[in-house]
């Protein structure tokens, strides 16, 4: 995520501080006062730009989601459509091997914010639907018989790979990629 400079807007400083702290330490573990100190911002700025911590969390997650979509789209751009459903797991492997990997921010938000009406939960649900739609599209391009069932299975593999990699390292993502390829190729 972007770093700040002295000319960075207060809104951007708040988002960068929230991103760094929420992703690395957890949403519930980080109080709003800590974000304000890290961002060198006043509480009034938080309320002016976001209305409170809940909207800051939702905006932080929205930025993570957009970055993820952009990265995935760029990664699969040169891969034949029929191979994307399993080759996207190569992206997951690279992500889980990166030095700043600390799990999936969506999974963290859902586990830390049990209230279904929290605005960040809507962001998470939208991203889940986006991923399911991508897996459906890629499965259709691969010519699988049951597109929806396959897409759902790929979501389970994706979720499991990312969650397990947080604890076990990238091998779980490699396992998921292996299975995804067999699922798509029918072997």
pLDDT classification of 8: cutoffs 50, 70, 90: confident
Domain architecture of the chain: domains with CATH = 8-51 (1.10.10), 54-185 (1.10.357.10)
Instruction: Report the C-alpha gap between 54 and 16 in whole angstroms.
Output: 16
Instruction: Report the C-alpha gap between 185 and 187 in whole angstroms.
Output: 6
Instruction: Report the C-alpha gap between 116 and 149 in whole angstroms.
Output: 26
Mean pLDDT of 95-111: 95
Residue 21: is its pLDDT beyond 70? yes
Tens digits of residue pLDDT in 34-77: 999 999 999 999 999 999 999 999 999 999 999 999 999 999 99
Nearest 5°: the CA angle 122, 155, 171 is: 120
The answer to whether the pTM exceeds 0.95 is: no
First CA to last CA distance, the chain: 39
């Amino acid at each position: 995520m972007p770093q700040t400079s002295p000319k960075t807007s207060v809104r951007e400083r708040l988002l960068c501080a929230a991103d760094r702290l929420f992703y690395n330490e957890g949403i519930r573990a980080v109080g709003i006062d800590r974000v304000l100190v890290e961002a060198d911002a006043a509480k009034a700025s938080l309320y002016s730009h976001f209305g409170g911590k809940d909207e800051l969390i939702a905006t932080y997650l929205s930025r993570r989601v957009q970055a993820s979509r952009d990265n995935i789209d760029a990664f699969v751009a040169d891969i034949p459509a029929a191979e994307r459903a399993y080759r996207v797991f190569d992206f997951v492997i690279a992500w889980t091997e990166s030095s700043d990997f600390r799990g999936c921010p969506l999974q963290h938000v859902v586990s830390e914010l049990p209230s279904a009406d929290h605005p960040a939960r809507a962001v998470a649900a939208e991203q889940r639907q986006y991923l399911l739609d991508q897996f459906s599209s890629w499965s259709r391009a691969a010519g699988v018989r049951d597109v929806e069932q396959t897409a759902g299975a790929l979501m389970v593999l994706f979720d499991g790979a990312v969650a397990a990699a947080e604890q076990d390292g990238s091998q779980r993502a490699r396992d998921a990629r292996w299975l995804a390829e067999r699922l798509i190729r029918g072997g």
